Structure 1
Amino acid sequence: MSSSGIDRAFERRLATLINTREPRVLQNGLKGVEKESLRVSADGRIEHSPHPVALGSALSHEHITTDYSEALIELVTPAFRESWQLLQYLCDLHQFVYRHLGEQLLWATSMPCMLTGDAEIPIARYGRSNIGQMKEVYRLGLGNRYGRMMQAISGVHFNYSFPQQFWPVLAEVLQEPRADAHFISEQYFSLLRNYRRHGWLILYLFGNSPALCSSFVRGRDHQLETFAPGTLYAPYATSLRMSDLGYRNKSQAGVQISVNSLDEYVRDLTAAVSTPHPEYQKLGVKVDGEYRQLNANLLQIENEYYSYIRPKRVARSGEHPSQALRRGGVEYVEFRALDVSAFDPVGVNQNKLRFLEAFAALCVLKQSEPIDAGEQAHLDANHAIVARRGREPGLKLNRNGRPVELRTWALELIDSMRGICELLDQGDERKPYTAALDLQQTKIDDVDRTPSARSLQELRTTGESFAQFALRMSRVHKAYFVDLYPPNEQRLAEFSAEAEQSLERQASIEAADDMTFDQFLIKYFER
């Protein structure tokens, strides 16, 4: 691609797609969301009570589980063809959860509530089965490696797969003979590389963590400024969650995972979960009969790798994620860089999901050369700069070794997405994808319309601390779900039945164990 950002290959591919016999070729891709929220007391302190039994088993419930902490609820939707169906399901999940929280709240922001330190964050519990113990020890390892505070951050993950009818048409456009699993995986890896190149735009448009509670960085070097008592911020930050203070910390600097091909990705991930790390060896694995981590390798398991986006395939029983990918190829991608939106009761909205769907198509259609180590360093720096300084006037990023203004590059990407949104809008007079795109362009034209700027403006206007703002929004969201009428009683009844069934499944899993935990771990890692 030229340094001007003009991608002739993309323009040809899009034109061919628009002129195809199937104008709805991009419609009906499958969409799902995983949304995390800290469970807090009525006054905004992290909850130490167990995951409510009425919500079912966090081990075996498909849609209501916990992430790192017993207090970190994760709500998981099935895959839907329409984003409104997905959001309705997510709304119903929230309403069901709130029926069983009593006075408790779901924290409305990505950055956590007031915390006194690591010891205050309870690790999630999954019962006495071997797999339940493994999940708990894995979390102990994360806490010992990176600290528990980082694990108390919440996010939204968007899962997306292109519609089946897209692949044969794309194969024709690219003059490839077959749209088989290998071809599909190659295209998803093109998407992953281009997301690494352009994903900073997601932080700019949707980042919503420019400030945090000062308790989060107590005792750490942070280079943040004081906004108000108890509140720290970076004046032009978009997403401190995705900065070096959050998930992009230096702890995994040695983990370099290639997305140049499925084979390279699996190779690097396999090396990371099987290569001992001196610091983790010092920590010890099982000390005085107590586990501190699952092993002393660079990564304990594959999911420990923090990335903005992941290739995924639904794993069969007993399969590791990379084994599933090797068996069947990439099935969908998981966008992981979304902050929880304090301004949306379910933490995400339809315009955002529509934009991400179009952005996925942009990333798969654009020219996507392999990424070498030098380019990867520039791409990582671009993300880090936008997370910390994305709203800074005149901010420049590195594109193909040359400086380019963020605003110029962002507008070029938006402009490239117009034809994609037209395809997604085919047959719908409301043009919802184009409207979603127009809305994002206003944030580039006027930086004050970004969620991160809006959050800081809210703090300035109200005089609230970050914690007070987040607590107020958490209460507003709770009231929304409690007062929502009429509730979907049929679905709420389904959730109740599912909760009971999940508890029965956990009991069955525990009863079926036929080896010690030590034996179970040996067998798991032998696979």
Structure 2
Amino acid sequence: MQKELQALAQPGALATLTGINRGIEKESLRITPAGKLAQTPHPEALGSALTHSSITTDYSEALLEFITPVNDSIDSSLTKLEDIHSFTYRHLDEEILWAASMPCIVAGDEGIPVAQYGRSNVARMKTVYRYGLGHRYGRLMQAIAGIHYNFSMPDEFWEQAWHASGKTTSKADYITGRYLGLIRNFRRYSWLLIYLFGASPAVCASFLRGSENHGLEPFDGNGKSFHLPYGTALRMGGLGYNSTAQQHLNVCYNSLEQYVATLSSAIGQSHSAYSAIPTGENDDYQQLNDSLLQIENEFYSPIRPKRVAQSGEAPLKALMRGGIEYIEVRCVDISPFCPVGIDAQQVRFLDTFLLYCLLEDSPPCNDEEQATQASNLEAVVNRGRKPGLQLDEGNGAVTLCDWADTLLESMRPVAKLLDTAHGSTSYEASLAEQSAKVVDPALTPSAKILQEMQEKGLPFFRVAMAYSEQWADYFHKRPLSDETLADFEKETQRSLQAHADLEQTGSLSFSEYLEHFFAQYENLRDLH
């Protein structure tokens, strides 16, 4: 890494670090004033969830997803995210947005409406996929919200790095190889992000109703909240984005071909546990297929390689067409302590962490190492703040604190380089903020949530509800410029028209549409 740091410190290369591209996707549940999951349809005043560029839905009709455009300015990205919230609040009537990752009061699977996108084939495919998720894993898991952080280095950075490497491969292959190295390192060290930013140590009792083997402890005598005393991000553990069916799916990140072939095979591999779920008989689609994965998005991972797909193109085919374009970090909890769930200090650390993962040597991984990574992640999810907690560094046991200190110290030159490029001290300040959390676990978001519950004698629901109301008030009072408001209104109308146009086009039946779509995977299964 030292050689690359020295190269990046040169004036011509340093400027490329100001061009890091980022995009934020932030999910938020719509809730009633009483704190229950909204049962109302997606507000038409927000445009079409199928075609709007910045306001859509995820699994549930009540789970809004806000998307910022690709931007190389942290402040601009966060301002855009605040603008989307402000515009949305103008059209929610009395509903508000839930300010936490783990859900509000929910009434079982039946109380979680699945997202609807319209009558076109692409719309129907999105909804059927979600029905399939509900049948396979339960709808409750799909009501959990998070933040996805999209990250890519600018073209100028890659051009210089590729030339310095000797151009022994194509530029696209070089970039893909480097992003795969980033992903491997991310998986080695992602437990650190869970410790530093995990903000889901407790859940509302309604989320666990009907479940007896959750392993959580009652927080108080009245049984309104359950938690793990040293837990950090329950969203990333057994309660959240986890799947027993996928546990034996060993996805390798040593080459793009292996990654694509493994997931493509899982999409084409019938899974007996899903065979009883209707898949088109008498036009009854409750899932897209009975495979281990309906589509690649069903593979739950804290990080994904991505490329913008063309219309109708499968994501894996897009990756094989052009290589990895950016990476998507998926393990970020919503912080109830700031208006949009993430702030500039956290973004700066994410950039530092990801750039470190890119520059640091990243040897190939194997099944044994992947098992160790999963074990480390599970330990930090459930017991991350436990004094003396030990993790497996690969060469033996080490305490979380010692390993975290070593990693953060190793990131210092990266943070310093980013500060030099930006003419600031903000990146090193963000790093120092994270180091303080290692010294004092009480500073972590997960500890602060439990401490507030304890000090105020409130269940998780009441604490999260108070923050939800606070930020609702904030966004109701936050002004939008006439120009920004006009842009949102224009996009709303454009999305509704695009939605209407989609419903008027296409002569294929839904079964034919699916057949054409899934044919894309056939040639991808034999790549390795």
Instruction: Report the TM-score when normalising by structure 2.
Output: 0.95
Relative distance call for 1:519 and 1:288 in structure 2 (3 A) is closer
**How far apart are 1:400 and its partner, in Å?**
1.0
Amino acid at match of 1:271: S
1:489 lines up with 2:482 in the alignment: yes
Who is 2:2 aligned against?
11
**How far apart are 1:174 and its partner, in Å?**
4.7
> Distance in 2 between the 1:61 and 1:513 partners?
20
1:167 lines up with 2:158 in the alignment: yes
Residues 4-46 of structure 1: per-residue CA shift (max 9 Å, x gap): xxxxxx3343344335753334221111100000000011111
The DSSP-based 3-state class of the residue aligned with 2:29 is strand
Q: 2:217 aligns with which of 225, 232, 246?
A: 225
Amino acid at match of 1:267: A
> Distance in 1 between the 2:499 and 2:163 partners?
47
Residues 274-316 of structure 1: per-residue CA shift (max 9 Å, x gap): 1111101133423554211000001001111111001111111
> Distance in 1 between the 2:169 and 2:159 partners?
7
Residues 39-63 of structure 1: per-residue CA shift (max 9 Å, x gap): 0001111111100000000011111
Who is 1:205 aligned against?
196
User: 8 Å contact 2:60–2:113 — kept in the other structure?
Assistant: yes
Relative distance call for 1:269 and 1:20 in structure 2 (3 A) is farther
Relative distance call for 1:523 and 1:176 in structure 2 (3 A) is closer
1:421-436 superposed matches below 5 A: 421-436=415-430
Amino acid at match of 1:475: E
Gap regions ≥5 residues in structure 1:
1-9
User: 8 Å contact 2:18–2:421 — kept in the other structure?
Assistant: no
1:102-501 superposed matches below 5 A: 102-171=93-162, 174=165, 176-177=167-168, 180-220=171-211, 221-228=213-220, 229-287=223-281, 289-485=283-479, 487-501=480-494
Which deviates more, 148-157 or 403-412?
403-412
User: 8 Å contact 1:68–1:123 — kept in the other structure?
Assistant: yes
**How far apart are 1:429 and its partner, in Å?**
4.4
> Distance in 2 between the 1:191 and 1:436 partners?
21
> Distance in 1 between the 2:80 and 2:141 partners?
29
**How far apart are 1:219 and its partner, in Å?**
2.3
Who is 2:511 aligned against?
518
Residues 304-345 of structure 1: per-residue CA shift (max 9 Å, x gap): 111100111111111111111111111100000000111111
The DSSP-based 3-state class of the residue aligned with 1:143 is helix
Amino acid at match of 1:27: T
> Distance in 1 between the 2:165 and 2:198 partners?
34
> Distance in 2 between the 1:523 and 1:176 partners?
37
Q: 1:508 aligns with which of 501, 513, 523?
A: 501
Amino acid at match of 1:490: E
User: 8 Å contact 2:132–2:288 — kept in the other structure?
Assistant: yes
Who is 1:5 aligned against?
none
1:24 lines up with 2:18 in the alignment: no
> Distance in 2 between the 1:146 and 1:412 partners?
38
User: 8 Å contact 2:280–2:511 — kept in the other structure?
Assistant: no
User: 8 Å contact 1:255–1:298 — kept in the other structure?
Assistant: no
Gap regions ≥5 residues in structure 2:
521-528
> Distance in 1 between the 2:39 and 2:374 partners?
36
Percent of pairs with identical residues:
44
Relative distance call for 1:391 and 1:222 in structure 2 (3 A) is same
**How far apart are 1:526 and its partner, in Å?**
1.9
> Distance in 2 between the 1:148 and 1:383 partners?
24
The DSSP-based 3-state class of the residue aligned with 2:305 is strand
Name the count of aligned residue pairs. Answer: 517
